[in-house]
Amino acid sequence: MKFPLPQKKPISASSFSDARKKLDENIFKVLNQRIIAAHDTLAEPDNQSQRWLNHRLFAVDGSKLNLPRELIDHHYRTPSKDAYYPQGLLSCLYQLKSKIPYDFDLVNHGNERQCALAHLKTLTTGDVVVYDRGYFSYAMLYYHMQMGVHPVFRLQKNTFKAIDDFRNSTQTDQIITLLPTKETQRDIRKQYPDIQFKALTIRLIKYTLEGKTYCIGTTLLDERYTIDALKEVYHARWGIEELYKISKNMIVVDDFHGRSERTVKQELFAHFVLITMSRLCTNESENLLNSLLNLQPDEMDPKQTIQANFKNSLATMSRHLEDIMFVPARCIKKVMDDIVSSISRNHQKLRPGRSYIRKSKKPVNKWRGCESTA
């Protein structure tokens, strides 16, 4: 498209670098939230395709990233004394139905629960958040109940005796109360000074899948939340694993150009904004494609559902970023329509339950698997 640029001559690399040092990395968090808010205002208020039993559905998970060596000065630690690169914990709150990264952060510690509690600030009463093993604790349950947010935890062994008793029993659905011992309360208060100890009600469910027993804890006590429904919700958290696969394999987000904490966070947070923009356009494309089959979101047969190629969506959005940023406001709708149209050209039917592992024919990196001759 032909449109006037902000200036005739491009800025120099040194000027760009100096300006980047002054840019607060949290601007990308604000930008991501504003994009989501703008989309939500245009979406149908009664659209249940993005909800689960009238709840917004989220998942939280963390992933370790290797960072530039310079971040050791910012208290990012190496995983072992012989390692060269430090690591940071990337934590993300992910909206499962829309497949959008909703909140995110990079921290120099490994406390996933602390990150999860920080994500709670962006949620509202009635939201549901799914967690894998390692997240459950009395404090996590307490603060979720204080916020009116419903957690769905996969429970580990040896957390509370009442939970272990349920795990070893023949019951599959039980409501219990939890209250730590006085000694445990003292330990918890050291980390959470404002916590007020009281008996907390939690529902426990248990089921077996492919020979493996899953024990789930939640504050969703009503009978309409059946075991099958909660089982489906827990396994839906795999979507956040797919997000990290996109980040690490498609975008290769850990190939950093910046060498400071600020520039590393800029790149990480900006890539989440790119994923959000691409996913919103992809969702619109898939809705249009499936509407041609006269399929409503709640009645789609998985064998008939059309799915856009998300790798192509990322490439398409990347090509149009300059258009989005600099085009006059009167032309922005045409730009977005062009993006959705381009994404729609590359699609295929969803193929659930494939039983054969896809084998990559891509050449193996020559450095991988080299044996030391020392």
Q: Are residues 154 and 264 in the same domain?
A: no
39 domain residue, yes or no: no
* DSSP bridge pairs for 103: 93
Structural domain for 83, as ranges:
52-254
Pairing of strands 100-107, 128-131: unpaired
Tell me, what's the pLDDT at 292? 78
pLDDT tens by residue, 216-230: 999 999 999 999 999
CA dihedral 280, 281, 286, 291 (to 10 degrees): 100
Q: Are residues 199 and 117 in the same domain?
A: yes
Q: Are residues 106 and 226 in the same domain?
A: yes
Phi, psi torsion values for 225, nearest 5 degrees: -90, 85
Taking the alpha carbons at both ends of the chain, their separation in whole angstroms is: 58
Q: Are residues 194 and 293 in the same domain?
A: no
Tell me, what's the pLDDT at 47? 64
Mean pLDDT of 313-338: 91
Tell me, what's the pLDDT at 362? 73
Mean pLDDT of 63-92: 96
What angle, 0 to 180 degrees and rounded to 10, lies between the N-to-C axes of helices 27-42 and 261-291? 20
Residue 302 pLDDT > 60: no
74 domain residue, yes or no: yes
Number of domains in the chain: 2
Q: Are residues 288 and 306 in the same domain?
A: yes
pLDDT band at residue 272, thresholds of 50, 70 and 90? very high
| DSSP assignment of 66-119 | E--GGGGGGTPPPSSTT-SS-EEEEEEEEETTTTEEEEEEEESS--HHHHHHHH
Tell me, what's the pLDDT at 299? 54
pLDDT tens by residue, 12-55: 889 989 999 999 999 999 999 999 999 988 876 656 678 999 99
CATH number for the domain including 114? 3.90.350.10
Q: Are residues 264 and 249 in the same domain?
A: no
Tell me, what's the pLDDT at 374? 41
Are 279 and 35 spatial neighbours (Cβ–Cβ below 8 Å)? Answer: no
Residue 238 pLDDT > 90: yes
Tell me, what's the pLDDT at 296? 56
pLDDT band at residue 10, thresholds of 50, 70 and 90? confident
Residue 323 pLDDT > 50: yes
pLDDT above 90 covers what percent of the chain?
A: 76
Q: Which amino acid is at 240?
A: I
244 domain residue, yes or no: yes
Percentage helix, strand, coil for the chain under 3-state DSSP, each rounded to 5: 45, 20, 40
Q: Are residues 196 and 218 in the same domain?
A: yes
Tell me, what's the pLDDT at 11? 84
Q: Are residues 243 and 268 in the same domain?
A: no
Better-predicted residue by pLDDT, 314 or 7: 314
Q: Are residues 249 and 265 in the same domain?
A: no
How far is 138 from 157, CA to CA, in rounded Å? 14
Q: Are residues 292 and 316 in the same domain?
A: yes
Mean pLDDT of the chain: 90
pLDDT tens by residue, 153-199: 999 999 999 999 999 999 999 999 999 999 999 999 999 999 999 99
Question: From the CB of residue 320, how many other CB atoms can be counted at a distance below 10 Å?
Answer: 19
